[in-house]
Structure 1
Amino acid sequence: MELFSDYHIISIGLALVMLGVASVIDVWKREIHDYFWIVFGVIGFLLIFLSPDLMSDLLTLGFALIIAPIVIIMWRIGFFGGADAFALIALAVIAPMATLSENPITPFTTLSNAVLLFVIPFIINVLRNTIAQIKGENIFEGFDETTGRKIIAVLMGYRAKNPKFGFSIEKTKKGKKKLNLKLHHAENQDFCTKSDTWITPGIPYLLLITGGFLIQIFYGDIILGRFLGL
């Protein structure tokens, strides 16, 4: 059993393989079959029986699965897709509360770290719109909107000539273009195919989850770390 004395390292490796493969599929196809998570989840659950401290790790697994109902509710509301929810649940099974750091973590650390990384798409949208303005493009041509809503649109998305994997955030009302800034359900709305229109990108959130997990492994919880001064 010496081979399995480093059970936690093996579980972290399995989790990283799962997230790496899933991230590639998500970027490529924006769709991951449920069986993918089931297979990895089952492997992760069976792996725990190789742990030298089985009862302790089973208790940790049970505690980590507190995240399951939370992410399912978030999925149903539309904050992210089912694949993202299943990824977080599978992570809780494969590598519950896993970290190589001595900093504190919680069952929600990967998710909270990923949420903080969510600022990156906003920065990209602002840069994209700024570059378009510098090039002389009138990105709000034909729109009848307030400055405040235009600022929100610049953060949320951009005017795409040939949109791909994005959701439309514009509509026509009484013959005038308006911004539609409501929450778009991650799974119930089709991607926009109309050219030269404002969209909010369909972000492959699995990339952010992978980043959040890597931060958890090597640093811990960003929010807790800042709160505790770590």
Structure 2
Amino acid sequence: MALTMLIIGSIVDIWKREIHDYYWIGFGGAGFLLIFLDSDIIPHLVNIGIALIIAPFVIFIWRLGLFGGADAFALIALAVIAPMTTFSENPSTPFTTLSNAVILFFVPVSINVIRNLISTMKHENIFEGFEETRFRKICAIMIGYKAKNPKFCFSIEKTVKGKKKINLKIQHAENQNYCSKPNTWITPGIPYLLLITGGFIIQLMYGDIILSLFIK
């Protein structure tokens, strides 16, 4: 049920870039009601109570703008439906799905770096017109790229006193408008729900990647 919820939610998020809160409330409520079909509900309720310690944490992250409300509600619903569930012998905590998702975030970072390296090998001046330090250019290469026709992306380019600069300020996931200006440095607006789904699949099959490294 939890995996179905995340997969459908990810598809809708990619398609519409918006998921109504009722979606998560519906799945979370249905998952909670199913517990009462079990004759021994106390252990399930205890697990849910422990798993829900993630709720204030993800709401705080949402308010900071690091990811959207749908991502926060997805993790809360997941804590109700499948608290700390794993089919492996490795440990799992209320934060396992989220920590696994953070590791998966390095996939789009790697894609950005490869994309920029290819552009550089083609002798494209990706920082034409910019006056920036090497450090800020390296950061830009990791978090984004110069898009010819951006779509579902956020601009990381700004103009200060007639000079182009890289904007490394955190983009609020819900308040920031998508960039439509051509030939602009952007950071992809990747639905974080995809990473959460991947993180949950890893949790089911392997457990907590980071925690297992420390334990072993």
TM-score (norm 2): 0.98
Is 1:40 the counterpart of 2:35? The answer is: no
Q: Deviations over 1:151-192 (max 9, x none)?
A: 000001000000011110011111111111111111111011
SS in 2 for 1:193: coil
Find the counterpart in structure 2 of residue 3 from structure 1.
Answer: none
Q: Deviations over 1:21-60 (max 9, x none)?
A: 0111111121111111111111111111122421011111
Find the counterpart in structure 1 of residue 53 from structure 2.
Answer: 66
SS in 1 for 2:66: coil
Task: Report if the CA contact (8 A) 1:51-1:57 is conserved.
Answer: no
- Counterparts of 2:86 and 2:157 in 1: how far apart (Å)? 43
Structure 1 position 147, deviation (Å): 1.0
Identity %: 69
Task: Name the amino acid aligned to 1:150.
Answer: K
- Alpha-carbon RMSD across the aligned residues, in angstroms, is 0.8
Alignment of 1:183-202 (within 5 A): 183-202=170-189
Q: Which is worse superposed, 128-137 or 145-154?
A: 128-137
Find the counterpart in structure 1 of residue 193 from structure 2.
Answer: 206
Consecutive unaligned residues of structure 1, counting only runs of 5 or more, are 1-13
- Counterparts of 1:191 and 1:65 in 2: how far apart (Å)? 32
Consecutive unaligned residues of structure 2, counting only runs of 5 or more, are none
108, 113, 126: which one aligns with 2:113: 126
Alignment of 1:80-229 (within 5 A): 80-229=67-216
SS in 2 for 1:171: strand
Q: Which is worse superposed, 49-58 or 208-217?
A: 49-58
The number of equivalent residue pairs is 216
- Counterparts of 2:115 and 2:206 in 1: how far apart (Å)? 31
SS in 2 for 1:199: strand
Find the counterpart in structure 1 of residue 3 from structure 2.
Answer: 16
- Counterparts of 1:159 and 1:51 in 2: how far apart (Å)? 54
